[in-house]
Structure 1
């Protein structure tokens, strides 16, 4: 054998099988990946069923004899599949103790163009700690989507009670009406992804904070996350559209405040909530947001502890078509996973406007010279 034997060879799940002739089997439909297999007889296709990751290559080749294949024929078939990337070692596809619900996710990652193995990506997601904050109807769906994609620790820090207008396109149910959003979303997470941890994240330990909605002054949010060096992705519903971004990693600009300042330059009357220029100074202003969270709230960005409605937590109906909402949920989830997986999101330094499924408008922004985020690396880190 000219190559190293594969430990527990596994055929990628979900490959269509199409018989072209009684002895020719097409495996896969995507032209760059599909292969034609010449088999000595139709029952030789049974070898494919042995490649399920439960046996060594040596054992699989030995058992191929039961399907009428000689050892050299079975080895040639396995070599062809391995060269085409359709057979991989089991440990590179599935991490140990992976929930069965993630089999499809692992297979999709294997089909993607990334060079990172699915198992490594899923291990990275399993160790990630993501906090979803805000009080918009986007939040429960984004939280559940991330958990079902393999995020291991997802804390929903959502304010206010669940209302009827939030249910379309949401994982929440009529039984959740009137209950705190955080609790209802945590219940939805347990239903969809029972192994996901939902408790508060220790301060400073979040892999990513996703703030959904516009219930914070922009500059205050920018200051809060700048102090803690924690990555932030924002999204909000605005007049039937969903605005996503920018995603601001630690020590990277432009930030939320940069966008506000750019808009202020274009429109002098644009509202500017700028605590950086307040007499009390940026750190004191920023601490109003940082210290407003309850002591046990973890990586809270809302200023109101989980499950607490708060005096202004009732959200008016958000005008957004269900199809647009679901398209935005998919995009936000994809951007968050791209970042957690160690790749470059489209919203890095950009804001994407989703007006309907398939219709996207991307705006890029540069760091604003008046925003202190350009000097963020010199800011003291908050504990």
Structure 2
């Protein structure tokens, strides 16, 4: 039973409980907004412009046919440690706790192995089976429930009161080895329990995904819950990947400082902070600096806030130019926050070291996030400016002037045109952090992939513009070298 564009085809359930069929249908997006996931992982045309591809999708022309995961493995060896979810019509199919047996029944997963001496685990350590805690469970009438209220939610019809009580028990959590016993205690035959579990396929998890031990695990509980609801898969691998990630943030004004704090709040384990300028009164805002930070170097002040937020966060101060800290070759991602334009030296610094990097620009009437650059794979910052110079021959010269005026060597007190207002800086920081986390999680391709997102102040809307690699840009040399290596490498 499917629901498409807000309409449903409903089958009338049987009156006999033993023969009551389960009718499961998928909730589809009913708004006109573009979905965040691709509808089809194998083809390009159904996705539409601006729709990111899942990690297993093939790329279009000009991308050498490589997948997003292949590119990430080139820069991040840990990318291969997480098995990406397969996508079927835009909805991921995951390995769940109940695997199919013969027919339509499901075999209940056995409990954890017992400890030494064959002693059973105490109740507080036993693994519990529960419905995905990141999804909402709502009633749709006397015999129908919905799990997940957003796109991809599941509706199950034809339920009896005993069935609903058993599903409610699953929502609260049932020890793995007692699932059948719990069903019998509620008056359900074993076949009925198996049928319910089969219809909840992909929605049943172990409660270990949300178990917390210590302050940090408790603090990251919202992130785990969000990942469970978004990917419909165990989230421990994603959180461990974030913990191992190293992100470099340069330019720690209101936007950069808020961005670094959001990344640490989301579980990023190591942050390299670069900005030697001092905090002034114009930098104070709710998401970045406080009055007590005035006079401190921006990088030192942000580091202090990060350690106050999470003592286990590894925050290191780099001086302008990247000196005085860890080797930047360990970077998973660099984020450059600047005003108006990025200097050629800043972009070349990460292009020469072959490190993925993301640009965030605060401009007069708007702000931009992107492009996300993988050297040799995507359009770089110079490609974007060269495309823009096709309509303005002097644009590259203007960019150089803007980059020099907004660089780290400017005077201690920035001019009014280089200040960051609270609303714009918060919007840019949140969007840039979301793009960075998408890249680090390595599930869906970020929307800044060879693209620029622009936040327009006049009406507070976002727009997206995609750019191809410019044929006259020097980054094409890296692309050619990469293609040569790929074609000559042994399988």
Tell me the TM-score normalized by structure 2. 0.60
Shift of 1:128: 0.9
Give the aligned partner of residue 229 of structure 2: 111
Give the aligned partner of residue 132 of structure 1: 249
Give the aligned partner of residue 47 of structure 1: 169
Give the aligned partner of residue 154 of structure 2: 33
Shift of 1:61: 4.3
- Taking the aligned partners of 2:342 and 2:143, their CA distance within structure 1 comes to 67
Secondary structure of the residue aligned to 1:213 is strand
Distance change (3 Å), C-alpha of 1:4 and 1:166: farther
Secondary structure of the residue aligned to 2:334 is strand
Alignment counterpart, residue 3 of structure 1, candidates 94, 99, 106 = 106
Distance change (3 Å), C-alpha of 1:24 and 1:257: closer
Shift of 1:73: 8.1
**What runs of 5+ residues in structure 2 fail to find an aligned partner?**
1-100, 112-126, 317-324, 401-405, 483-491
Are the aligned partners of 1:131 and 1:209 in contact in 2 as well (CA < 8 Å)?
Answer: yes
Deviation by residue 1:153-172 (Cα, 9 ceiling, x = unmatched): 12222231222222334242
Alignment counterpart, residue 361 of structure 1, candidates 463, 472, 479 = 463
Q: Does 1:222 find its partner at 2:347?
A: yes
Deviation by residue 1:7-27 (Cα, 9 ceiling, x = unmatched): 532332254455667887665
- Taking the aligned partners of 1:366 and 1:221, their CA distance within structure 2 comes to 21
Secondary structure of the residue aligned to 2:228 is helix
**What runs of 5+ residues in structure 1 fail to find an aligned partner?**
276-301, 305-309
Alignment counterpart, residue 266 of structure 1, candidates 382, 391, 395 = 391
Q: Does 1:99 find its partner at 2:212?
A: no
Q: Does 1:59 find its partner at 2:178?
A: yes
Are the aligned partners of 2:340 and 2:363 in contact in 1 as well (CA < 8 Å)?
Answer: no
Query: Which range moves more in the overlay, 198-207 or 136-145?
Result: 198-207
Q: Does 1:348 find its partner at 2:449?
A: yes
Deviation by residue 1:122-180 (Cα, 9 ceiling, x = unmatched): 22212111011114321111111111122121222223122222233424222222222
Q: Does 1:237 find its partner at 2:340?
A: no
- Taking the aligned partners of 1:190 and 1:78, their CA distance within structure 2 comes to 47
- Taking the aligned partners of 1:34 and 1:368, their CA distance within structure 2 comes to 48
Tell me the TM-score normalized by structure 1. 0.75
Shift of 1:348: 1.7
- Taking the aligned partners of 2:294 and 2:429, their CA distance within structure 1 comes to 21
Higher relative contact order (CA 8 A, sep 6+): 1
Deviation by residue 1:264-300 (Cα, 9 ceiling, x = unmatched): 343222343999xxxxxxxxxxxxxxxxxxxxxxxxx
- Taking the aligned partners of 1:215 and 1:324, their CA distance within structure 2 comes to 14
Question: How many aligned positions are there?
Answer: 342
Are the aligned partners of 2:339 and 2:363 in contact in 1 as well (CA < 8 Å)?
Answer: no
Secondary structure of the residue aligned to 1:338 is helix
Distance change (3 Å), C-alpha of 1:20 and 1:252: closer
- Counterparts of residues 1-383 of structure 1 (less than 5 Å): 2-6=105-109, 8=127, 9-13=129-133, 15-18=135-138, 28-30=148-150, 32-35=153-156, 38-40=160-162, 47-48=169-170, 50-51=172-173, 56-62=175-181, 68-70=186-188, 72=190, 75-76=193-194, 79=197, 82-83=200-201, 85-90=202-207, 99-112=217-230, 114=231, 117-199=234-316, 200-214=325-339, 218-272=343-397, 312-317=411-416, 318=418, 320-342=420-442, 343-356=444-457, 359-377=461-479, 378=481
Are the aligned partners of 1:237 and 1:243 in contact in 2 as well (CA < 8 Å)?
Answer: yes
Distance change (3 Å), C-alpha of 1:265 and 1:41: closer
Give me the CA root mean square deviation: 3.7
- Taking the aligned partners of 1:272 and 1:362, their CA distance within structure 2 comes to 25
Give the aligned partner of residue 298 of structure 1: none
